[in-house]
Amino acid sequence: MNFTRWSARLPGTQRRAAARDDRSSVPAARAEYARTEGTPAPPDDDAPAPSGTEAAEGLPALDDLSAREILGRLPAPVALLHGPDHRVAYVNDAYEAAFGPRPPGVPAAEAMPELDRLSVLPLLDQVLRSGTPRTVKSRRTTEGGSYTVTCTPIAGEDGVLVYAADVTDHAEAAERLRTSERRHRETAVTLQRSLLPQELEQPDDLRIAATYQPGGTDAAVGGDWYDVITLGAGRTALVIGDVMGRGVRAAAVMGQLRTAVRAYARLDLPPHEVIQLLDVLAAEIDASQIATCVYAVHDPNEGQLVYASAGHLPILVRDEDGTVHRAADPTGPPLGTGGWVHTSGTIALPPGSTAVLYTDGLVERRSEDIDEGVASLARALSGAKGSPQVVCDRLIRSLGVTAEHDDDVAVLVVQHPARTGANAELFHNAALDLLGGIEAAPRARAFATGVLSSWRFPVELRDLGVLATSELVANSLQHGTPPMRLGLRRTDRRLIIEVTDGDDHLPRRRQAEPADEAGRGISIIASIATSWGSRRTPGGGKAVWCEFALPQ
SS3 per residue for 442-460:
HHHHHHHHHHHHHCCCCHH
C-alpha 200: how far from its chain's center? 20
Q: What is the dihedral of CA 467, 470, 472, 476, to 10 degrees?
A: -170
Q: Beta 78-82 vs 324-326: how paired, if at all?
A: unpaired
**pLDDT (0 to 100) of residue 421:** 80
Q: In a 3-state reduction of DSSP, which class is residue 136?
A: strand
**pLDDT (0 to 100) of residue 8:** 44
Q: Give the residue among 334, 316, 312 at the shortest CA–CA distance from 325.
A: 316
Per residue in 80-115, pLDDT tens? 999 989 999 999 999 998 888 999 999 999 999 989
Residue 403, pLDDT > 90, answer no
The region of weakest confidence among 42-56, 176-190, 298-312, 328-342 is 42-56
Compare 187 and 221 and report the one with higher pLDDT. Answer: 187
Q: Is the torsion defined by CA of 464, 470, 471, 472 positive or negative?
A: positive
One-letter amino acid at 405 equals H
Residue 420, pLDDT > 90, answer no
Mean of the per-residue pLDDT values of the chain: 84
**Cα–Cα distance, 120 to 14 (Å, whole number):** 30
**pLDDT (0 to 100) of residue 508:** 81
Residue 214, preceding peptide bond in cis (omega within 30° of 0): no
Compare 223 and 305 and report the one with higher pLDDT. Answer: 305
User: What percentage of the chain has pLDDT greater than the value 90?
Assistant: 54
Contacts of 494 (CB under 8 A, 6+ apart): 204, 530, 547, 548, 549, 550
Where does the pLDDT of residue 59 fall: very low under 50, low under 70, confident under 90, or very high at 90 and above?
A: low
Q: Beta 485-490 vs 428-433: how paired, if at all?
A: antiparallel
**pLDDT (0 to 100) of residue 106:** 93
Residue 30, pLDDT > 60, answer no
**pLDDT (0 to 100) of residue 13:** 41
Residue 401 DSSP class:
-
**Cα–Cα distance, 548 to 552 (Å, whole number):** 12
Per residue in 486-517, pLDDT tens? 999 999 999 999 999 999 999 887 765 555 55
CA distances from 283 to 101, 127, 264, 286, 497 (A): 68, 60, 16, 6, 39
Residue 202, pLDDT > 70, answer yes
**pLDDT (0 to 100) of residue 384:** 92
- pTM for the structure as a whole: 0.70
The count of other CB atoms within 10 Å of the CB of residue 85 is 14
With residue 252 as reference, give the H or E element that holds it.
helix 247-266
Mean pLDDT of 251-255: 84
The region of weakest confidence among 29-43, 108-122, 142-156, 521-535 is 29-43
With residue 540 as reference, give the H or E element that holds it.
none
Where does the pLDDT of residue 62 fall: very low under 50, low under 70, confident under 90, or very high at 90 and above?
A: low
Mean pLDDT of 29-58: 46
The region of weakest confidence among 50-59, 245-254, 292-301 is 50-59
Where does the pLDDT of residue 31 fall: very low under 50, low under 70, confident under 90, or very high at 90 and above?
A: very low
**pLDDT (0 to 100) of residue 215:** 74
The region of weakest confidence among 36-50, 146-160, 232-246, 399-413 is 36-50
Per residue in 135-169, pLDDT tens? 998 888 777 788 999 999 987 778 999 999 989 88
Where does the pLDDT of residue 58 fall: very low under 50, low under 70, confident under 90, or very high at 90 and above?
A: low
Where does the pLDDT of residue 391 fall: very low under 50, low under 70, confident under 90, or very high at 90 and above?
A: very high
Are 411 and 392 within 8 A, CB to CB?
yes
Q: Beta 331-332 vs 304-310: how paired, if at all?
A: parallel
**Cα–Cα distance, 448 to 463 (Å, whole number):** 10
**pLDDT (0 to 100) of residue 23:** 44
One-letter amino acid at 487 equals G
**pLDDT (0 to 100) of residue 511:** 66
Per residue in 425-478, pLDDT tens? 889 999 999 987 888 999 999 999 999 999 999 999 999 999 999 999 999 998
Instruction: Tell the burial category of 131 from Cβ atoms under 10 Å away from its Cβ (0-12, 13-18, 19+).
Output: exposed
The region of weakest confidence among 13-27, 199-213, 247-261, 287-301 is 13-27
Per residue in 282-327, pLDDT tens? 988 887 788 999 999 999 988 899 999 999 999 999 999 999 999 9
- Backbone phi, psi, residue 64, to 5°: -90, -5
Are 428 and 490 within 8 A, CB to CB?
yes
Q: Give the residue among 498, 503, 487 at the shortest CA–CA distance from 541.
A: 503
Are 357 and 238 within 8 A, CB to CB?
yes
